[in-house]
Amino acid sequence: MLHRKFGDTDMEISEIGFGCGNTAGLMIWGSEADRVRAAAHAMELGINYFDTAATYGQGKSEENLGPVLAQLPERPLVGSKVALQEEELADIPGNIRKSVERSLSRLGLDHLDITHLHNRVTTRRDPGKTLAIGALLDVEQMLGEGGVQETFEALQREGKVRHFGYCAFGGDPAAYHEVAEKGRFKSLLVFYNILNPTSDRAAPPGFAQHDYGRIMGAAAQRGIGAVILRVLEAGALSGSATPHEMNRGGPGNDPEYARNAERARALEFLKRDADETLAQVAIRFALTNRNVSTVLVGFSEMAQIDEAVACVGREGFTPEQLERLERLYETDFGLAS
């Protein structure tokens, strides 16, 4: 395992992070014995960051991860997330504090190494509108008096949080940039993968997906570490249209999951050899980007940990492969009508 400096903080974080969310499911629905074995194996291979959230499994991910951590020979870096609902915005400090303290209690920890605001950020709020896991927050709620940043800093002074960040997935890219420029956040939870790399590059001509506005480069310039999510598009970048049985995060009911699996199958030409999987192609793509701090990979079984770790230290892609990839962006990976 290789490790990278996390922005301009004092942390060294493994290139592969252990994702404890719904779409892989091991930390939520796996047996206790499997959870402990998987976590111990991951740490033996050098993975030192475990990423969970209060919303994963409605708290079950944190509840299950806590006893696992207690059985490991040493404490890894642990990150969790706060998701505020619309009715909680009247007291942002109080409800962030409650969420962090509940997470610490479930995890059996005295502090979190990284705490992210899980909510999406926008330039102009539409009160009452929710997105994914909670309310949309505007920049003033992020940076203003009594807002998210101020509350995280208070928790940091109390020793309950080492570093804090926000989410650049959904919401408004202009707001991501404003928070990065004006705020004091040290981590960015960012959507970035081989199907949609626009968090760190201009959208290719004819690109049909959401443009994330090159936020990673801007964040890196300000010493903000990047925690990459959706590197496998909830498992679809394995190329299989059928999710793993442990993957209970809803992708099987999403028609876009099957389309993403089809897009992935257009990437066979990027394999290093016959033994490399499409999932490894996707992980290797993210790891070639030096603005990336860690790539979160959710695991459904032990073998997937070895599969992910095997991507570390491998070379990138040839100019010819990258040119062919550019042409795929222009045709939506062959799905454009």
**Buried/exposed code over 92-115 (b: 16+ C-beta within 10 A; e: otherwise):** beebbbebbeebbebbebebbbbb
Average pLDDT over residues 93-121: 98
Distance between CA atoms of 249 and 315, rounded to whole angstroms? 32
DSSP string, 250-302: SGGG-HHHHHHHHHHHTTGGG-SSTT--HHHHHHHHHHT-TT--EEEEE-SSH
Residue 90 pLDDT > 70: yes
pTM listed for this prediction: 0.95
- 167-224 pLDDT, tens digit each: 999 889 999 999 999 999 999 999 999 999 999 999 988 888 889 999 999 999 999 9
Please give the helix or strand (H or E) that residue 158 lies within, else none: none
Q: What percent of the chain has a predicted confidence (pLDDT) above 70?
A: 96
Average pLDDT over residues 54-74: 95
List of long-range contacts for 248-251, beta carbons under 8 Å, 24+ apart: 248/22, 248/23, 248/25, 248/28, 248/29, 249/21, 249/22, 249/23, 249/25, 250/22, 250/23, 251/23
DSSP string, 2-44: -EEE-TTSS-EEESEEEE-STTT-HHHHS-HHHHHHHHHHHHH
Class in CATH terms, 3-330: alpha beta
Q: What is the pLDDT of residue 214?
A: 96
Residue 57 pLDDT > 80: yes
Q: What is the pLDDT of residue 130?
A: 66
Q: What is the pLDDT of residue 243?
A: 73
93, 92, 110: which is closest to 101 by C-alpha? 110
Residue 228 pLDDT > 80: yes
Q: What is the pLDDT of residue 336?
A: 78
Average pLDDT over residues 266-274: 96
Residue 98 pLDDT > 70: yes
What residues are paired with 30 via a beta bridge? none
Query: Mean pLDDT in the chain?
Result: 94
- 294-331 pLDDT, tens digit each: 999 999 999 999 999 999 999 999 999 999 999 999 99
Close Cβ partners of 51 (under 8 Å, ≥ 6 residues apart) = 17, 18, 19, 20, 21, 78, 79, 80, 114, 227, 296
**Confidence bin at 251 (pLDDT 50/70/90):** low
133, 158, 136, 159: which is closest to 148 by C-alpha? 136
Q: What is the pLDDT of residue 68?
A: 97
**Confidence bin at 64 (pLDDT 50/70/90):** very high
Q: What is the pLDDT of residue 128?
A: 66
Residue 249 pLDDT > 80: no
| Residue extents of the structural domains in the chain | 3-330
Range scoring the smallest mean pLDDT among 131-135, 219-223, 267-271, 272-276: 131-135
